[in-house]
Amino acid sequence: MPWLLWCFDRQKWAERELVIVDSSPEPVKLPARGDIRVITAAPGTNVAQKRNLALQAAHGEIITWFDDDDWQHPEKLTWLIEALQNGAVFAGNCKGWFVNLINDRCTQYKAPREQIIFNSAGFWREAVLPHHFQENLWKASDTRWMRQLTTQYNGKKAIIKRGPLFFWLCHHKNLCNPAWKRSFSQSLANLKELIGPVAWADTDDALEALRMRLYKNNNAADCVTE
């Protein structure tokens, strides 16, 4: 939660709201804020069900997803809104990065056929509201959902070619991209240089704090992938 809020609070676009879907056995406790709403779901609610709840609960005309183990560029909302105001139904990057949370290594990912990556994307809510995430899927429901949108709105996407809008953090409990499943070919310094010092800012400190929280009582050596 601290990492998620840190990413959200860094956004340069002022008019925003964060909708959190919480299925914790003990409900999350947050300070009262006008820009955050918490939707309670039953323990065991899967990711697809949570995404459907969030989509229905959202008030904004434009939506994007802030998964709690992604890094978000502070200009993400600004760049998405600029792209969507020019006639696209959805917009985002076709390239992303996987970052090993433990050992400061990373590797680039390029989506096939210039497909927009879900974690980077923004959408007009009215256009995507009729599309539901497939709730019987334990993982990759976002992939199916994006395929539906691409089919229906063929030619109505905007590819943002500026710096990475996000990157995935790979860790031992990651649902689709645990660190041990991937090979990380580059130093994190390469990605840091690509993003630039202004957008990166205090990311190093936030990553270190996240590591301390996640691995305080675990053997991190089991999670390291070179």
| CATH number assigned to the domain with residue range 2-223, chosen from the 4 options 3.40.50.2300, 3.90.380.10, 1.10.3720.10, 3.90.550.10 | 3.90.550.10
List b or e across 49-67, with b for residues whose CB sees 16 or more CB atoms inside 10 angstroms. Answer: bbbbbbbeebeeebbbbbb
> Measured in whole angstroms, how far is the alpha carbon of residue 29 from the centre of its chain?
22
pLDDT score of 62: 97
pLDDT score of 102: 86
Phi-psi region of 87 (alpha: psi -120 to 50; beta: other; left: phi over 0): left
| The residue type at 101 | L
Domain ranges of the chain: 2-223
pLDDT score of 223: 39
pLDDT score of 74: 98
Say if pTM beats, i.e. exceeds, 0.75.
Answer: yes
* Two tokens, residue 161: 């070619």
Which residues does the chain have with pLDDT short of 50?
Answer: 220-226
